[in-house]
Structure 1
Amino acid sequence: MTGDSGGRIPLHRRIAVVLLVVATALLTLVAVVAGYLRAQVLDTDRYVDTVAPLAADPAIQSAVADTLTEAVLARIDVAGAAADLGQAIRDPDERNPLVALTLRNLSSVLGTYTEDLIADAARTLVHSDAFPRLWTAANRQAHRGAVAALTGVDSEVVRTDAPGVIAISLDPMLAEIGDELDSRGFVLPEREFALGTEFVIVDSPELARAQRAVRILDRGAIAVALAALACALGAILVAGNGFRRYTVIALGVGVVVAMAVLAVSLLIARSIYLERVPAREGVARAVYDTVLHPLRVDAGVTALIGALAVVAALLAGPSAPAVRLRAVSRRTLGRLRRPAAR
């Protein structure tokens, strides 16, 4: 490696600079992920703010409405009630064929009507102004479970029969469904629903297996960022005079490459995850893209910083374009200062 002054860096220092540049890139990648986990995923307020827009996502609204409808229907025996009603009003001699036919079809008619009515009430709820508030409250309550699933701390919060599952409780929404049905004149036979109705946000076995890694990243986020900065400064110092500009360029390129690797890894992970949940692909896609959006933004900002470092180092060099640009900048600044001096 030849420096700006024409000298060459010794081999052992060259190897040290390369190792420090690579270490900086790797540590930067880890620091970005660790910072995202610590500041976005494991912080309740930021997590809730991140998932709040999902309340307006059509896939989420449809899935929640379906879950609520199934939960209400599971708690009422429409077929049994229709059979009892038919038995109570049955004409023992069946002298009216139309009445007899109606009674035989009563169960299916009532079942269809009831299901449509409950489904419409659920859809009304998820499209109402109350749903974002209920969604936010449910996610805030569930965040403790999400943190437990990711860190392994307070593990009794996580369902032991379903590791890797993060779900929110829909019980408060069931109460809203009951009120909506009451307002339509349909009184549920049992308003005190059994607790435990959930809507699964994340279902991934890898989540449970990642507990140890997440716990380490959470505790070492600041240390990793400081280590990356130390490696970058070390590389610049080891390179010495005449080679520092090249080292800054190498560091910037390394950071950009690391962020590109992270971006590609997120795309691959997204594809694999969606393939494993085809039945809920719309929900899974919305959750994945929303929850990981801050990480993609952090990676983009970090890559931009690396690219700016490369550009700044190139413009500070002895190349003809850099020299001309610096001269133009000096003249421009000089013209701007003259009116101020007057």
Structure 2
Amino acid sequence: MSVVDSPDSSGVAAALTTDERAELERLRTEVADLRSAPPPQPPARRRIRWASVGSAVLLVLGLLLVPVSVFAVWTHNQLSETDRFVATVGPVLEDPAVQSTVADRVTAEIFAQVNVQGLANEAVDALAAQGLPAPIVDRLHGLTGPLADGTRNFVGSKVHELVSSPAFVAAGERALTITHQQIAAALAGQSSALVVQGGETVLDLAPFIDAAKQQLVASGFELAGKIPEIHPTIALFPASTLIRAQTLYSLLDVTATWLPWVTLALLVGGVLLARRRRRATLVVGLAVMGIMLVVAGALLAVRGIVVGSVAEQSAAAVGSTYDIVVRFVRAALRTLFVVGLVVALAAWVTGPSNTAVRLRGALSRGVGALRRGGFARRLAAGPVGPWVHDHRVLLRTVLVVLAALVVVLWDRPSGWTVLTVALVLVVLLGVVELLDQPRSLVTADADGSPGSPGLDGGPS
């Protein structure tokens, strides 16, 4: 290898090989290029994806409105529909704990007005004044206590029989019906028994008296029909309270109709705007389940507060009443919990997780086994298989939409209703998958040779 003499920067000759000089020239070129290159640009700021921000906002608003929609619809139904109100509150009259509490209270009020032991002692003293021997008077005075207790037990048993009788329950439901009709009419601003007099909201008892007259006449007491029309009133609360209640009623009348649909639109819009729609759907399903659990826990906590605020002897009746009144709310919470569960499961099953992939593979192999052989060839040769294959996306979409409409339009759907509809939907989707046979299968061999379709409709 040759050696070349060349002076260095200090004037001292240095012997470099040809390779070393080439390497030196390369390095000098790289340094010059680096010095002449423009300064590096700062890293570009990550652009905000406004669709994702909008998706998050819509999903949060929709999830917050889910429990609001539940209570708005329930409250509106109780205020505006007498039949639903009676169906909600009426069973309270049939609850044994409530009947026992009412009977005990009625019995106590009766004996607060009638002192049986005092009346018996007065009778014994009157006999003593008439010359009854003192020993007998003393013995009779000793019997007045047991007499009072026996009388109280007798009256209590009769009151219990009355309160638990079907006639009492029917009368209570009639009273609830009349009361609710008057309250609903007042809230709607219509003519009712609730009227404003002198800054107070008073209850006009005339409708109740008319109802009692009709009931008495129907029972054979015809003299009740001669009772004249009277309008006694009972002061209830300030007129301003009624005005605020009417405003709230009008607001509920509007929001209860549209709020659930607005909530659904917000959730659907949030999912459509999301970058990862399947994950957003899974989040919505899980969030709805969590919200329903939180609301159910809140109802349980409120029950404890309500029951703890009353006397011990009334706690059982108050607890039963609370459970009966909110039972439709709890049913709605269970239904929405199941809806969230179904949505979350659907998003998870169609996702990329290993477990979901294995599950789909197992189902696909099962359906694929049914689609092989003569059955598949007969389907492909006829009009059904090719038609289903050409319209499979439309059929799946229609089935999903129909299932959703069944749940939405069902009157008070339960959790079991949602589960049943979901299972039927899965079966029908499986039938569509089974019948999906392209016409090219006519030329396929029975053993699944090339030309037989796979589960996606293409060659296996």
On whether the aligned pair clears a TM of 0.5, the verdict is: yes
Give distance in 2, aligned partners of 1:118 and 1:336. 75
Instruction: Give the Å deviation of 1:127.
Output: 3.9
Instruction: Give the Å deviation of 1:151.
Output: 8.8
Contact 2:289 2:337 (8 Å CA) reproduced: yes
Show the counterpart of 1:204: none
C-alpha change, 1:216 and 1:66, in structure 2 (3 Å) is: same
Determine if the alignment matches structure 1 residue 269 to structure 2 residue 302.
yes
Which of residues 267, 283, 287 is equivalent to 2:317?
283
Q: Say what the alpha-carbon RMSD is for the aligned residues.
A: 4.1
Q: Deviations over 1:247-274 (max 9, x none)?
A: 2122222322322221122122112212
Show the counterpart of 1:28: 66
Give distance in 2, aligned partners of 1:157 and 1:37. 23
Show the counterpart of 1:229: 264
Contact 2:61 2:266 (8 Å CA) reproduced: yes
Contact 1:21 1:250 (8 Å CA) reproduced: no
Which of residues 162, 181, 203 is equivalent to 1:125?
162
Which of residues 115, 119, 122 is equivalent to 2:152?
115
Determine if the alignment matches structure 1 residue 101 to structure 2 residue 134.
no
AA partner of residue 255 (structure 2): G
Show the counterpart of 1:246: 279
Contact 1:21 1:254 (8 Å CA) reproduced: no
Show the counterpart of 2:53: 15
Instruction: Give the Å deviation of 1:18.
Output: 1.1
Contact 2:59 2:271 (8 Å CA) reproduced: no
Give distance in 2, aligned partners of 1:138 and 1:108. 38
SS of residue matched to 1:229: helix
- For structure 1, the 5+ residue unaligned runs are 1-7, 162-171, 176-206
Instruction: Give the Å deviation of 1:68.
Output: 2.2
Show the counterpart of 1:67: 105
Instruction: Give the Å deviation of 1:309.
Output: 1.1
Which of residues 343, 351, 357 is equivalent to 1:317?
351
Give distance in 1, aligned partners of 2:109 and 2:304. 31
Structure 2 matches for 1:137-216, cutoff 5 A? 137-144=174-181, 156=194, 211=245, 216=251
Q: Deviations over 1:156-209 (max 9, x none)?
A: 389x89xxxxxxxxxx9xx9xxxxxxxxxxxxxxxxxxxxxxxxxxxxxxx99x
Contact 1:91 1:100 (8 Å CA) reproduced: no
AA partner of residue 177 (structure 2): R
Instruction: Give the Å deviation of 1:228.
Output: 0.6
AA partner of residue 314 (structure 1): W
SS of residue matched to 2:352: coil
Contact 1:22 1:254 (8 Å CA) reproduced: no
Give distance in 2, aligned partners of 1:315 and 1:20. 25
SS of residue matched to 1:90: helix
Instruction: Give the Å deviation of 1:40.
Output: 4.8
* Same amino acid, percent of matched pairs: 31
Give distance in 2, aligned partners of 1:36 and 1:46. 10
C-alpha change, 1:297 and 1:150, in structure 2 (3 Å) is: farther
Q: How many residues align?
A: 293
Give distance in 2, aligned partners of 1:148 and 1:77. 43
C-alpha change, 1:106 and 1:317, in structure 2 (3 Å) is: closer
C-alpha change, 1:335 and 1:217, in structure 2 (3 Å) is: farther
C-alpha change, 1:300 and 1:151, in structure 2 (3 Å) is: farther
Instruction: Give the Å deviation of 1:315.
Output: 1.5
Show the counterpart of 2:252: 217
Q: TM-score, normalised by structure 1?
A: 0.69
Higher relative contact order (CA 8 A, sep 6+): 1
AA partner of residue 315 (structure 1): V
SS of residue matched to 2:194: helix
C-alpha change, 1:140 and 1:157, in structure 2 (3 Å) is: farther
Contact 1:90 1:103 (8 Å CA) reproduced: no
